[in-house]
C-alpha cells in the first residue's frame, strides 16, 4: 500500500511538471517577436553587355528578434545597349517582391547583413513592347549603425532573371552582378 501511495504521489507531481510547460509557438514569447520597422532607399550599379548601369529602388520591412527582416522591395534601371546585336536598344528593367534579410549581431556598430529579393517584374524594350520576368536576387554585405534610427549598408550579389521572351535581351543578358548602397531608416525597440 505504501508503494502504491508513493507511486501515485510521484505520478501526481510528475504530471504537473509535464503538463505545466508552456507551448512554444512561432509567434509569441518564445517565438518571433516584432522588434522594429524600417524603410529606405537604395542606389546601386550593375552591368549589361559590358555597359554599367545605375539601379535605384526602395523597400519596407518589419524586424523580428533584432535579426530577421521581412517585407517588400523593388528595383528599377534604364539603359541603352546593343547586347551584341549591332543595334542599340533602350530598355527598362523593373522588378520587386518579397524581401528577406538576416542581420546577425545587429547591436554592433558594424555587422554583416544578408539579403534576398524574389518577385516578378517586367522588361520593356524599345519598339518591341514589354515582357513579364521573374527575378531571384541574393546578396551579402556589411551594415553600419550610424544612428539608432539610421543604418547604412553596402551589399553585393547576383541577379538571376528568368522568363524573358526577348532575345536580346534574354535571361542571360539581364542577369548579372550588382552592388548597392542601402539607406535604412526606422526604429528598433526592445532588448
CATH 2.40.160.20 fits 32-186, yes or no: yes
- What φ, ψ does residue 190 adopt, rounded to 5°? 75, 175
pLDDT of 34-57, one tens digit each? 999 999 999 999 998 778 899 999
The answer to whether 60 touches 38, Cβ cutoff 8 Å, is yes
Model pLDDT, residue 178: 96
DSSP letters, the chain, are -HHHHHHHHHHHHHHHHHHTSPPP-SBSSSSB-EEEEEEEEEEEEEEETTEEEEEEEEEEEEEETTTEEEEEEEEEEEEEE-TTSSS-EEEEEEEEEEEEEE-TTTTSSEEEEEEEEEEEEEEEETTTEEEEEEEEEEEEEEEEEEETTEEEEEEEEEEEEE----SSS-HHHH-EEEEEEEEEEEEE---
Model pLDDT, residue 37: 97
Q: For residues 16 and 27, what is the distance between their CA atoms, to the nearest angstrom?
A: 25
The pTM assigned to this predicted structure is: 0.79
pLDDT of 150-184, one tens digit each? 999 999 999 999 988 877 788 888 899 999 999 99
Mean residue pLDDT across the chain: 86
pLDDT of 69-128, one tens digit each? 999 999 999 888 777 677 777 889 999 999 999 999 999 999 999 999 999 999 998 878
Model pLDDT, residue 30: 60
| Cell matching residue 42 | 537604395
pLDDT mean over 140-153: 96
pLDDT reading at 190 higher than 90 = no
Amino acid at each position: 500500500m505504501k508503494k502504491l501511495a508513493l507511486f501515485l504521489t510521484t505520478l501526481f507531481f510528475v504530471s504537473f511538471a509535464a503538463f505545466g510547460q508552456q507551448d512554444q509557438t512561432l509567434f509569441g514569447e518564445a517565438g518571433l517577436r516584432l522588434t522594429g520597422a524600417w524603410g529606405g532607399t537604395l542606389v546601386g550599379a550593375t552591368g549589361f553587355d559590358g555597359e554599367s548601369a545605375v539601379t535605384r529602388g526602395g523597400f519596407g520591412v518589419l524586424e523580428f528578434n533584432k535579426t530577421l527582416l521581412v517585407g517588400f522591395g523593388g528595383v528599377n534601371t534604364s539603359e541603352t545597349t546593343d547586347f551584341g546585336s549591332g543595334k542599340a536598344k533602350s530598355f527598362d528593367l523593373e522588378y520587386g517582391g518579397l524581401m528577406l534579410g538576416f542581420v546577425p549581431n545587429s547591436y554592433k556598430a558594424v555587422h554583416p547583413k544578408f539579403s534576398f529579393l524574389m518577385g516578378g517584374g517586367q522588361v520593356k524594350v524599345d519598339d518591341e513592347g514589354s515582357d513579364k520576368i521573374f527575378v531571384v536576387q541574393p546578396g551579402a554585405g556589411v551594415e553600419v549603425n550610424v544612428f539608432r534610427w539610421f543604418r547604412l549598408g553596402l551589399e553585393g550579389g547576383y541577379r538571376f532573371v528568368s522568363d524573358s521572351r526577348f532575345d536580346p535581351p534574354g535571361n542571360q543578358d539581364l542577369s548579372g552582378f550588382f552592388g548597392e548602397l542601402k539607406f535604412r531608416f526606422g526604429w528598433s525597440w526592445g532588448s
